[in-house]
A = this chain, B = another copy of it.
Amino acid sequence: MEILRVEAPLVCTRRVAGLQHISLRVLRDVNGKRQVAVDPVGARTGNWVFTINGSAARYAADDFNVLTDLTIGGLIDQWVNVGDPS
Residues of chain A touching chain B, judged by Cβ–Cβ distance below 8 Å, are 1-3, 7-8, 10-19, 24, 26, 30, 34-37, 40-42, 50, 52-60, 62, 67-78, 81-82, 85
CA gap between A37 and B52 in the complex, in Å = 10
Q: Given A26-B3, A75-B13, A77-B13, decide whether A69 and B52 contact each other with a Cβ distance below 8 A.
A: yes
- B85 near A1 with CB under 8 A, answer no
Q: Given A1-B37, A60-B18, A82-B8, decide whether A52 and B77 contact each other with a Cβ distance below 8 A.
A: no
A14, A53, A77 — most chain B CB neighbours (10 Å) = A14
Q: Given A54-B55, A67-B60, decide whether A14 and B1 contact each other with a Cβ distance below 8 A.
A: no
